[in-house]
Amino acid sequence: MAGPGTAREDPTPMQPQPPYDLHAADDDRPVTVDRREGPYGEVVLRRRGGGDGSGGVFEIIANGCFLMDTSDGRSERLLIRAALDALPAGRPSPALLIGGLGVGFSLVEAAAEARWGRIAVVEREAAVIDWHRAGPLAAVTAGALADPRTEIVHADLVEWLCGGPRTYDALCLDIDNGPDWTVTEDNGGLYSPTGLAACAARLTPGGVLAVWSARPSPAFEESLRNAGFTRVRTEEVAVARGVPDVVHLAVRGA
């Protein structure tokens, strides 16, 4: 999740809040591991299962809205792979910005790929960063966080994109359930003409914008074209129930 606040780079581990509740439920009922109130509302880390020694499945809930869990991660990984595949062949050490740390699957996918250069992750929720730095989700991302290419930035993504001079070869954004289903009202600005213009300004010529969504959005595809992006397309990942997860892809012109 990344989505207002002052940008702050976080090079050192954060201390966890009072001890995490890691006891395993006897059945599949979720157990609240940690609960925080922040400037954007409540964010909760829950665990389902784990009584069999498997470790269970962790879930992130924001203001009562389910965001993601550690049960699958195929579409979060596709977000990174599809962006890299869409870049011009032979581009050396492309720089990557991941919007939203979440449960860490996108970061892990990026760090496992030697072709990426610097990898910046912008996350607005201090709690989410804590869970990865010194909490239960460290088991997912410890190796990726230790990668010298990785930089964690504690900031609101929309504000981060609108300020500062850095550019990237790919922006891989996953801060909502999609352009039509935002976690907070402020996030809607990311998918507006102003937000898409900010994304284009942060991309190098030929750079790729990839946006995760829990469902296809033809309206967003049209917004990307209206914003001047080319090669707009959508890749789908089938899920067990309901409509597929998708990755919207678009390229900034040269």
Pairing of the two strands 57-62 and 41-48: antiparallel
pLDDT of residue 210: 98
This prediction's pTM = 0.88
Q: Answer for the pair 7, 152: CB distance below 8 angstroms, yes or no.
A: no
CA-CA-CA-CA torsion for 109, 114, 118, 121, nearest 10 degrees? 10
pLDDT of residue 16: 42
Please give the Cα distance from 143 to 30 (Å, whole number).
27
Instruction: Report the amino acid identity of residue 252.
Output: R
Helices then strands, counting H and E runs in the chain, come out as 7, 12
For residue 122, count CB atoms less than 10 angstroms from its CB and return exposed for 0-12, middle for 13-18, buried for 19 or more. buried
- Closest alpha carbon to 76 in 160, 175, 183, 223: 175
pLDDT tens for the chain, 254 residues long, are 554 333 334 433 343 444 665 655 555 788 999 999 988 889 999 998 765 555 789 999 998 888 899 998 999 999 999 999 999 988 999 999 999 999 999 999 999 999 999 999 999 999 999 999 999 999 999 999 999 999 999 999 988 998 878 999 999 999 887 888 777 777 778 999 999 999 999 999 999 999 999 889 999 999 999 999 999 999 999 887 778 899 999 999 87
250, two tokens: 């678009």
Which residue has tokens 């869409």?
A: 86
Q: Answer for the pair 5, 156: CB distance below 8 angstroms, yes or no.
A: yes
Domains along the chain with CATH numbers? 16-69 (no CATH), 74-251 (3.40.50.150)
pLDDT of residue 85: 96
For residue 91, count CB atoms less than 10 angstroms from its CB and return exposed for 0-12, middle for 13-18, buried for 19 or more. middle
Q: Answer for the pair 42, 210: CB distance below 8 angstroms, yes or no.
A: no
pLDDT of residue 220: 95
